[in-house]
Amino acid sequence: MKKIFIYFIIVLFFLYSGCATIFSGSKQEIKLNSTPTGATVYINGSEEGTTPIKVNLKKGKEYIIEFVKDDYKKKTLRLSYSLGIGWLILDIVVGLVGVIVDAATSNWYIFDLDYYNAVLEK
């Protein structure tokens, strides 16, 4: 009886969650660097640290990332996202609930890059 209950809970977990939500979460790690290193990184106007840096950004949003270093021109990156087609296919195969959950949470989106090196010019 206990095994049946555990299996039931596992099945419910997968039926009422989206695949992207379960396996990749709501944030994605992005690695940011600059040449030369030590540039201050601003994300949507908020200072995040200096390069090299790893940031975890919420999926399904666009970000403006700026690299600023004294005596160098500011470099700006518009970080956009796209639909992770693999997550969509997996959600469709598993069931409609997964599609609804991942669409509502934006967890099936992925950023167009996960590493960026800003080359700063004098």
pLDDT digits (tens, 9 = 90+) for 7-31: 666 665 555 456 666 667 789 999 9
Alpha carbon distance 98, 104 (integer Å): 10
- Percent of the chain surpassing pLDDT 90: 52
Overall domain count for the chain: 1
**Structure tokens given for 97:** 């609930």
User: Does the pTM of the predicted model rise above 0.85?
Assistant: no
- pLDDT at residue 47 in the model: 98
Alpha carbon distance 25, 10 (integer Å): 18
Structural domain harbouring 61: 2-119
pLDDT tier at 6, thresholds 50, 70, 90:
confident
CA 82, 87, 92, 98 torsion-angle sign: negative
pLDDT digits (tens, 9 = 90+) for 37-51: 999 999 999 999 999
Residue type, 25: G
Alpha carbon distance 19, 36 (integer Å): 39
pLDDT digits (tens, 9 = 90+) for 96-110: 667 777 777 888 888
